[in-house]
Amino acid sequence: MTRVLITSALPYINGVKHLGNLVGSMLPADVYARFARSMGHDVLAICATDEHGTPAELAALEAGQDVATYCAEQHAIQKRLGDGFHLGWDYFGRSSSPQNRELTQAFARALWKNGHLEVRTTKQVYSNAEKRFLPDRYVIGTCPHCGYDRARGDQCENCTRVLDPTDLVNPRSALSGSTDIEIRDSAHLFLKQSQFVPRLRQWIDSHRSEWPHLVYSIANKWLEEGLHDRGITRDLSWGVPVPDDIGDGKLKGKVFYVWFDAPIEYIGATKEWADANNKGEQWRDWWQGKDVRYIEFLGKDNVPFHTVGFPVTIMGADEGWKLVDQIKGFNWLNYYGGKFSTSQKRGIFMDAALDLLPADYWRYYLMANAPESADASFTWEHFASVVNKDLADVLGNFVNRITKFCAARFEGRVPGEGAYGDEEKALIAELDRRVAELRNFFEAMEFRKALAELRAIWVAGNEYLTRAAPWTHIRTDRARAAVAVRMGLNLVHTFAHLSWPVIPATAVKIHETIQPVAGGGRAVPFPTDPMAKELDQLEGGQPIRASDVLFAKIADEQVAEWKARFGGD
RNA sequence: GGCAGCGUAGCUCAGUGGUAGAGCAGGGGAAUCAUAAUCCCUUGGUCGGGGGUUCAAAUCCCUCCGCUGCUACCA
């Protein structure tokens, strides 16, 4: 049994995530985790909210809450929505947990001890009005290059030039508009990433053939352009405090930069899991044990932090923590060609999606159209056509037609008469091939291809049923009709097992038309027996239940209404 | 500006040197078990433009155009 450690990029705390966030890390991680469990592997799936940083402070301010309360509430909301989408994490932690504080400080101490950190004095913008330091992006002013008067301190959105806040003419706080700001000296810890270039180069190149092209090329680009040392502390109050024994007391009152502590929370959340479940030191074995395969799921914006930043932290600490083996990176899901946007409320968010339709509709559509090789685009029209055709017509109707026929003509019991003939053998051969392909695609995390194969398997069921035509044979040759129905019901059962990683709730419903799911449903096993056995396992006489409609079709009027409500164009 | 990814049928996308593919949509037919759901056949593309290498290019090279993203203090 292989042990598989899976992490999803941590969703940021400031509000409900949209479908682009979901399909870019949390959902594929869950589908893969379910597949791995269904293959019998020992899986630990970890996620958490990323709670530190300026945006969290500001969101709390806007909500009129203190930041700890705000984060606790938002965490609960994100956890509930994750459950609503059947994201089966072993643990959904919080980067503000005591476990993460302890680990982050321990990593920093190790880096300090090993000489990979140094204190540098930097110039920071301080706002007297807000009585706080401002990140570059929260200082606005007139661009010295193009004269745009709302340029941000990190970059001018108008001429795209990279700026320093001190470049701005008439700088002011983006929060209050106050011009009562000044530049102050501030000491910060820098992680000497530049020293790690040769090791990173070797490590990244060793994964070149294994990692997706997208991931390798982004990682490679950062190395090619020359790694800068990176500031890993900030002048904020909300975050993991820098311990006094680092930096000779020059960093009193400062916290670590969220990008330093957020990846460490992968480990922190694993400890949260262990603490919450009496697992003792098992969390450590997942991260320092030898036989673990570690896979990260993340959007392309996160690639640099997972191929450079976090690996440098782990290499520099030199305490045997596990580096990632496989990185599954995703492009963006767009909404009618433009970006999903949390700040502009553009697109569909997890809470709104679940208000419209059950999770499995979204899970199937999103994974079938995952932005794997390029950005993908969501439209209501496309969503409706995929749901209606693939889920309602091809899968749902298949289960419906055969179980209802069995109920009407065979008293709702698996008919035991007759023996499989040429038609059945041809189907078995086809499915042996297709199921092997499906398994390969899941193992390779090629989700679009996996779902296309899954769909082709459902189609093969319909093709078989048309050829076997029990509704015709029932009039003249009951045994022949019985064979077709028995095979049809075996197909229903097998479809439930094959589909579970993608549409877990529906898969269980489908399974229950035939018989209850064994073993409490922690995982519905992926079929590994030859199809000849797999498709011939239902007992003659065993009662089944005609299925209800599994997937309701989406009507044109609903598409029109949702487009109007969510702003498609 | 620099860098990266992408550009293939009406739509969404496979395809990295060997006769252009799938699903959906469109057209024709079969069947009547089923949510009018299914199945079979089929129309449709000078692979963004141009140039080059090669016996052979969607695929390799050059160049131009377009879209998207990144550019290190948003995360």
Q: Give the contacts of A560 (CB within 8 A, at least 6 positions apart).
A: none
Closest-lying nucleotide for A488 based on CA to C1' = B33
Q: Give the model's pLDDT for residue A434.
A: 96
* Domains contained in chain A, number: 3
Model confidence pLDDT, tens digit, residues A18-40 = 999 999 999 999 999 999 999 99
Q: Are residues A232 and A278 in the same domain?
A: no
**A149 or A409, which is more confident?**
A409
Question: A210 burial class (0-12, 13-18, 19+ CB within 10 angstroms)?
Answer: exposed
Smallest Cα–Cα separation from A9: which of A228, A296, A426, A347?
A296
Tell me if A7 sits within 8 A of A26, measured CB to CB. no
Residue A41's pLDDT band, with cuts at 50, 70 and 90, is: very high
| Residue A488 to residue A464: CA distance in whole angstroms | 8
| Phi and psi at residue A24, to the nearest 5° | -85, -10
Per-residue tokens: A388? 């209606």
Which residues from 175-204 of A have any strand B atom under 7 Å from their CB?
Answer: 188, 193
User: pLDDT tens digit string along A82-118?
Assistant: 999 999 999 999 999 999 999 999 999 999 999 999 9
Q: Number of H helices and number of E strands within chain A?
A: 22, 17
Q: Which residues contact A562 (CB under 8 A, 6 or more apart)?
A: A356, A380, A568
Which CATH number is A268's domain given? 3.40.50.620
CB A556 within 8 A of CB A388: no
| DSSP bridge pairs for A330 | A299
| Segment A527-550, tens digit of pLDDT | 999 999 999 999 999 999 998 899
* Distance from CA(A434) to C1'(B45), angstroms, rounded: 29
Answer yes or no: do A528 and A473 share one domain: yes
User: Are A157 and A248 part of one and the same domain?
Assistant: yes
In a domain, A458, yes or no: yes
Sign of CA dihedral A135, A130, A250, A102: negative
Helix ranges, A282-421 (H): 282-288, 303-304, 310-317, 350-356, 359-368, 380-386, 397-409
A141 and A238 in a single domain? The answer is yes
Asked if residue A463 has pLDDT above 90, the reply is yes
Examine the domain organization and report whether A165 and A218 are in the same domain.
Answer: yes
Q: What does the block give as tokens for A502? A: 């993608």
Proximity of residue A469 CB to strand B below 7 A: yes
Q: How far is the CA of A112 from the C1' of B71 (A)?
A: 29
Nearest-angstrom CA–CA distance, A307 and A326: 11
Q: Nearest-CA neighbor of A92 among A26, A5, A3?
A: A26
**pLDDT for the residue A553:** 96
3-class DSSP assignment, residue A118: strand
Whether A144 maps to a domain, the answer reads yes
**Banded pLDDT at A1 (limits 50, 70, 90):** low
More confident residue, A288 or A207: A288
Residue with tokens 């509709």: A361
Between helix A98-113 and helix A258-276 the angle, nearest 10°, is 130
**Contact predicate A45/A373, CB 8 Å:** no
| Domain assignment present for A249 | yes
pLDDT score at A223: 84
Average confidence (pLDDT) over A408-427: 96
Identify which has the larger pLDDT, A108 or A564: A108
**Residue numbers 527-556 of A with CB closer than 7 A to any atom of strand B:** 549-553
- At which residue do the structure tokens 């899991």 appear? A273
CATH number of the domain to which A423 belongs = 1.10.730.10
H-assigned helices in A357-503 = 359-368, 380-386, 397-409, 422-443, 447-468, 470-473, 478-499
Kindly indicate whether the ipTM for this predicted assembly is greater than 0.90, answering yes or no.
yes
Show which positions of strand B are touched by protein (CB under 7 A).
1, 3-7, 11-16, 22-25, 31-35, 37-40, 68-75
What does the alpha-carbon distance between residue A322 and residue A284 come to, in Å, rounded to a whole number? 10
pLDDT for residue A221? 81
Q: Is the pLDDT of residue A292 over 70?
A: yes
Residue A46: beta bridge partners?
A: A7, A91
Residues 6+ positions from A148 with CB-CB distance below 8 Å: A142, A156, A157, A158, A159
Average pLDDT over residues A420-441: 96
Joined together, the tokens standing for residue A350 give: 């997890």
- The pLDDT confidence band at residue A156, using thresholds 50, 70 and 90, is confident
Residues A308 and A396 reside in one and the same domain: no
**Taking a C-beta distance cutoff of 8 angstroms, is the pair A50, A301 a contact?**
no
Are A248 and A269 members of one domain? no
Q: Å from A301 (CA) to B70 (C1')?
A: 8
- Please write the tens of the pLDDT for every residue from A375-402: 888 999 999 999 999 999 999 999 999 9
Q: Left (φ > 0), alpha (ψ -120 to 50) or beta: where does A275 sit?
A: alpha
Q: Which residue has the higher pLDDT, A140 or A359?
A: A359
In a domain, A559, yes or no: no
Nucleic strand B contact set for A 266-325 (CB, < 7 Å): 300-302
| Residue A521 pLDDT | 64
Structure-token pair, residue A498: 């094959």
Average pLDDT, chain A: 92
If asked whether residues A405 and A520 sit together in one domain, one would say yes
Q: Over the stretch A346-358, which tens digit does the pLDDT of each residue have?
A: 789 999 999 999 9
User: Which nucleotide's C1' is closest to A458 (Cα)?
Assistant: B38
* Closest by CA position to A287, among listed A330, A317, A255, A329: A317
Q: What sign for the dihedral angle of Cα A208, A210, A213, A218?
A: negative
Contacts 24+ apart (CB under 8 A), A465-473: A465/A398, A465/A401, A465/A402, A467/A423, A468/A423, A468/A424, A470/A405, A470/A409, A471/A405
A181 touches A126 (CB < 8 A): yes
- pLDDT tens for A249-290 read 889 889 999 989 999 999 999 999 999 999 999 999 999 998
Per-residue flag: A25 CB under 7 A of strand B: no
Domain presence at residue A47 = yes
What pLDDT, on a 0 to 100 scale, did the predictor assign at position A569?
61
A397 in contact with nucleic chain B (CB within 7 A): yes
Could you list the residue range(s) of the whole structural domain that residue A511 is in?
Answer: 387-534
Nearest C-alpha neighbor of A307 from the set A296, A319, A316, A292: A296
From A229, A255, A281, give the residue that closes a domain. A255
Please check the confidence at residue A135 and state whether its pLDDT lies above 90.
no
